[in-house]
Amino acid sequence: MARRVVVTGVGAVTPLGVGVDELWRAVCEGRSGIGPVTRFDASAFPCRIAAEVRGFDPERWLPRKEARRMDRFAQFAVATALMAAGDAGIDLGRLDADRTGVMMGTGIGGMETLIEQSHILATRGPDRVSPFFVPMMIANMASAQVSIVTGAHGPNVTAVTACSSSANAVGDAFRTIQRGDADVMFAGGSEAAVVPLAMAGFCAMKAMSLRNEEPVRACRPFDADRDGFVLGEGGGCLILESLESARARGATIQAEIIGYGMTADAYHVVHPAPGGVGQSGAMRRTMEEAGLSPDDVDYINAHATSTPVGDREEVGAIKMVFGERAARLPVSSTKSMTGHLLGAAGAVELILCIRALQSGVIPPTINYEHPDPACDLDCVPNRPRAAELDVALSNSFGFGGHNVTLAVRRWNG
């Protein structure tokens, strides 16, 4: 029989603050983390806004020498993992290392390092490229560095499924504990792609919002006037444990992971399959594993990124799964506040689902001003809402047609 898996700790670094408490406070206030790009000169770009992490000092968690040998995305991963361990009450010095693993996701990896070292190669020659270039840039280094810092010797894997990456990492960690390959897993993801090359690429795709003069109103999922997503950065990490492990060490249990489903659209490298067929399949598989009916789900944290097509297709998928219940089911997009954290989004949004279950507060979709008949769900517009919550779903859908849904239940002891 599969073992039960619970969440005992969480950590986050986001455009809304460093730490989960800061993140949750900002979400409940309906505050946007989006502003003008400050990490580089974006004046020549069609989109000049982003959701940047501010006030992050990696030396709070790492010695200066080690921090300088990590790309920003790996720094986020280590910081959130150590936050989560502290929140879970884990003493790393007494960790059962062989029964503890790491699964982190990233969509892009160390792109900032790649850009810097490419410039050095072009302007100064190959002998000036850093010997740390490769181990700073490659995508597995977030999970590798978390393992090194925490001493976790168990399964160590990196998920790279675009915007579904950290949701896959959490789901795969859930499976690892279910089948008995580990007792404790650091699971989540990180991304640091607010860099010129990534911004230029997304601008070339015409995927970005162009509301440069009103950045806090730029990301508007489900709104009829949405015009594209806003790039963000950050990280999130959860401590997953077998129920037996958590109880044995007297841990405070925050929630229980009860379902994980994934599908592929097998349709297009960017556009979701028409009608949300693949997305609905991920939700159905998750609900089947968790033994949930449509009436059992109290809230969905939507993938909704504020793109015209993507939001509409997700609404269609939700209607396919929930039928008449869809009209009464609260569905919000916290990306309206955090921006799109790409490979880190799923972990951060699952953390927000857990906070919602704990507090009985549903996060809002801010900037909802003009109803779209094609997105006629209860999107919890503009203000948080008190509600009795027992079960939440978190959707994450990535370029290439990767679809992931996670189900989490409030822990009542």
Domain 260-399 is in which class?
A: alpha beta
Choosing from 303, 353, 379, 402, which is the catalytic residue? Answer: 303
CB 347 within 8 A of CB 16: no
Q: What is the pLDDT of residues 156-195, one digit of tens each?
A: 999 999 999 999 999 999 999 999 999 999 999 999 999 9
Q: With pLDDT > 90 as the criterion, what percentage of the chain qualifies?
A: 97
Q: Read off the pTM.
A: 0.97
Q: What is the pLDDT of residues 310-352, one digit of tens each?
A: 999 999 999 999 999 999 999 999 999 999 999 999 999 999 9
> Does the active-site annotation cover 237?
no
pLDDT band at 265 (very low <50, low <70, confident <90, very high): very high
Half-sphere exposure of 91 (CA within 13 A, CB side): 4
> Does the active-site annotation cover 271?
no
How is the chain split into domains, by residue range? 5-248, 260-399
> Does the active-site annotation cover 153?
no
pLDDT, average across residues 8-19: 98
Q: How far apart are CA 12 and CA 311, in angstroms?
A: 25
Q: Shortest CA distance to 111 belongs to which of 147, 79, 142, 138?
A: 138
Query: Which fold would CATH assign to domain 5-248?
Result: Peroxisomal Thiolase; Chain A, domain 1 (3.40.47)
Q: What is the pLDDT of residues 221-237, one digit of tens each?
A: 999 999 999 999 999 99
Q: What is the pLDDT of residues 288-302, one digit of tens each?
A: 999 999 999 999 999
**Can you name the residues that pair with 208 across neighbouring β-strands?**
229
Choosing from 203, 237, 340, 402, which is the catalytic residue? Answer: 340
What pLDDT, on a 0 to 100 scale, did the predictor assign at position 413? 81
Q: What is the pLDDT of residues 188-221, one digit of tens each?
A: 999 999 999 999 999 999 999 999 999 999 999 9
Choosing from 47, 163, 219, 375, which is the catalytic residue? Answer: 163
